[in-house]
Structure 1
Amino acid sequence: MKIVFEDRVPVDIAVAECSCVAGTALCNHNVALLFQTAHYSTLNLAAVPPVLSCTETEQRWHKPRTMGVKPGRVSDMVFLSSKPKQFTVADGVRSKRYKAVRGELPDPDVLKVDEQYQDFTADIAPLITTMAISADVPLVDSAFGKVQAGSPISYQHPVPVSRVVVRHPDAPLPPPLPLDSYRLEPTNCQFVCTHQQHLHLQSLATTFDMAKDFSAVEHHLRVWES
C-alpha cells in the first residue's frame, strides 16, 4: 500500500496504490489507512502503538459476548454434549413438543382461571393464576390452534408457513414492460470493468421492442397454462 500527497493547500492525493483488485484506484484499504492516520494524529501519537497480546490486556471472559446471539424458537435449538462423538447436528437433543390434546385450544373452561381460584390466597393458588389468563385477552393463530396473544406458544410455535404456491385465476395481468415513465440511461462507467466486460454488459441491454416481445410471450404462456 502506498499513498503520496501533493504539497499544496488543500492537500491532494497524487498517488494511491494497493495490492488488492481495486488498487489502481482509491480503494477502501487506502481510505482506512487515511482514517487511522488521522486518528493517530488526533491522539498526538508519534508512532503506531504496539499490538498487545491477550495476556497483556484486561481479561474479558466476565463480559458477555452478544455478537451473533439472537432470540429463536425452542424447536430450532439443538443441545449437544460437550464432547460429542460425531460432529453432526442429528446427534443433538431437539424439542419434540406436540399437541397432546384433541380439539381446539384453549378450552373455554381454561380461560376462567380467575373465576375458579378467586377464593384462594396467593400462597396456595396454583402458578397458572399468575399468567394473566383471561377471556378478555384476544386469541391468535398458532401451530396448535387458537392461543392467547403473548403466550409462549404464540411466538414459539407460530403458524407454519406453507411452501405451496397458490394460483389465483382472477389475478390481474402484470403491467406491460418496460414502463413508459421509466428509462434506463446508458452507462459509460469503465473504471471497474474491463473493456471485454463492458462489451458483455452492453450486449445484455434490452430494447423496447424486445421487452414487448418478451411480455407477449409470457402472457401467452400464462394463458396456455390456465
Structure 2
Amino acid sequence: GWEFKGLRPDQVSFGVPSGPKSANRGFVTPETVLRTLTCLVQGTGCDTIKPKQTYPTFRGVMTWSINWDKYDNFAFSKPARQALDSLGGNSPSPPTPSSQKPVPSTSAPNTRTPSTTKPSVPPTSVAPHSPSPPTTSPYTKPPQSSSPKPTAGPTNAPVTPTPSSGSKCDGKTGGVCYWPFNKQVLPYAKSDCDKWTTDFVWCP
C-alpha cells in the first residue's frame, strides 16, 4: 500500500471558519484551535491522529469570512493569536553581530583649506519671502464652456427611481444591508452595514 511520509513544513496549512455564523459547519472552539496547533507544533495533545514529525516553524492560521470575526469582536483571531504566541520558540532570532571589527584607515582625511581672498562682487541682501495669504477654498471653479450643451429629445420610457447606492443594490430595496459580491442580504442595521466593510452597501 501507499505509505504516508508526512508533509514538509511549507506544505502544512490550517484553516477554519472564524465563527458559527461564518459557515454552515466546520466551526471549532478556540480550545480546539489551541489543541490542534499544539499537536502540530509540539506533538502533544493530539486526538486520534498524530503527525509523524512536528512542525516547530508553523506560524499561521487561515480563516474565512473574517468580517464575521470583526462582527463577533474578534472572537476567533484574538485566541488564535494567543495560541500561536503560547507555542513559543518560533520567533526569528536577532541577527548576530559580525566578529570582525572595522579597520581604521591610515590615510589622512581629505580636508580643504579655507579661501582668504575677498569676493570681487559684494554680497547683496534679499528681503525675506512673504507667503501669499491662504485661500478660503482649495478648489477653484473651472471656466464656463461656451459650447452648447446637448439636448435629449422627448422619450416615452417611464422614469424608474434608482436607489442611492446605484446598481450595487441589484434591485434590492426596503432598507437592507446588501453584499453585492455574494448577492446576499445581510442581517445588519444601516449603522453596522456602513461600518463593517466597504463591500457592503445600504439599499434604501
| TM-score under structure 1 length normalisation | 0.18
Structure with the larger RCO, 1 or 2 (CA within 8 Å, 6+ apart)? 2
Q: Which structure is higher in helix share?
A: 1
